Amino acid sequence: MSDRPSPDDGLSAAELADRYGLAVSGARPGLVEYVRQLWGRRHFILAFSQAKLTAQYSQAKLGQLWQVATPLLNAAVYYLIFGLILKANKGLSHDVYIPFLVTGVFVFTFTQSSIMAGVRAISGNLGLVRALHFPRASLPISFALQQLQQLLFSMIVLFVVAIGFGSYPGLSWLLILPVLVLQFLFNTGLALIVARMGAKTPDLAQLMPFILRTWMYASGVMFSISTMLEGRPEWIARALQANPAAVYMDLMRFALIDGYGSSNLPPHVWAIAVFWAVVVAVGGFVYFWKAEERYGRG
Helix%, strand%, coil% for the chain, nearest 5: 70, 0, 30
Question: What is the pLDDT at residue 209?
Answer: 93
CA angle centred on 69, ends 63 and 74, rounded to 5°: 140
Question: What is the pLDDT at residue 5?
Answer: 57
Tell whether the model's pLDDT for residue 166 goes beyond 70. yes
Question: What is the pLDDT at residue 223?
Answer: 87
Residues 6 or more apart from 2 whose CB is under 8 A from it?
none
pTM of the complete model: 0.86
Q: 42-46, 138-142, 196-200, 261-265: which has the minimum mean pLDDT?
A: 261-265
For the chain, percent of residues with pLDDT exceeding 90: 46
Tell whether the model's pLDDT for residue 22 goes beyond 60. no
- Distance between CA atoms of 219 and 222, rounded to whole angstroms? 9
pLDDT tens readout for residues 201-222: 888 989 999 999 999 999 988 8
CA distances for 223 relative to 78, 91, 100, angstroms: 10, 9, 8
Residues 6 or more apart from 170 whose CB is under 8 A from it?
258
The residue ranges of every structural domain in the chain are 29-294
What value does the mean pLDDT take over residues 271-290?
Answer: 97
Please say whether the beta carbons of 19 and 11 come within 8 A. yes
CA distances for 290 relative to 98, 101, 287, 295, angstroms: 44, 39, 5, 10
For the chain, percent of residues with pLDDT exceeding 70: 87
Question: What is the pLDDT at residue 19?
Answer: 57
- Distance between CA atoms of 49 and 47, rounded to whole angstroms? 5
Computed over every residue of the chain, the mean pLDDT equals 86
Confidence of residue 13 (pLDDT cuts 50, 70, 90): low
- Distance between CA atoms of 170 and 134, rounded to whole angstroms? 44
Please say whether the beta carbons of 289 and 31 come within 8 A. yes
Give the H or E element holding residue 71: helix 66-78
Q: Give the CA radius of gyration of the chain.
A: 24
Question: What DSSP state is assigned to residue 30?
Answer: P
Question: What DSSP state is assigned to residue 27?
Answer: P
